[in-house]
Amino acid sequence: EDQVTQSPEALRLQEGESSSLNCSYTVSGLRGLFWYRQDPGKGPEFLFTLYSAGEEKEKERLKATLTKKESFLHITAPKPEDSATYLCAVQEYQAGTALIFGKGTTLSVSS
């Protein structure tokens, strides 16, 4: 059973069309939840870390939120340059330093 599930697998938006990506997780003790952006042929780029339910963080058109079972990455008025794969990962207290990644959501924004 996957511990981190991201949905949808792929999302196509028009420029300016706001939407949300979902990351649901099942871990016994959450140490932190991470969001990364990955462009084709590149390594993941760090976006946010969330530590506790109710926490929110923002960066430009992106806003990440966290509940006890899931996290959302809200994208407001996206632009074509926001097209990428967005990865969610969790770190458990019991698992040491390892990050457990989801499979990602591939976002395509057309003008």
Partner 1 sequence: GAGVSQSPRYKVAKRGQDVALRCDPISGHVSLFWYQQALGQGPEFLTYFQNEAQLDKSGLPSDRFFAERPEGSVSTLKIQRTQQEDSAVYLCASSSLGGQTEAFFGQGTRLTVV
By CB under 8 A, residue 59 contacts partner 1: no
**Binding window for partner 1 (CB under 8 A); candidates: 14-22, 58-66, 69-77, 86-94:** 86-94
By CB under 8 A, residue 57 contacts partner 1: no
Name the phi and psi angles at 81, rounded to 5: -70, -10
Nearest residue (CB) to partner 1, 38 versus 76: 38
Nearest residue (CB) to partner 1, 6 versus 65: 6
The Cα–Cα gap between 70 and 88 comes to 10
Binding interface with partner 1 (CB under 8 A): 4, 32, 34, 36, 41-46, 49, 87, 89, 91, 96-104
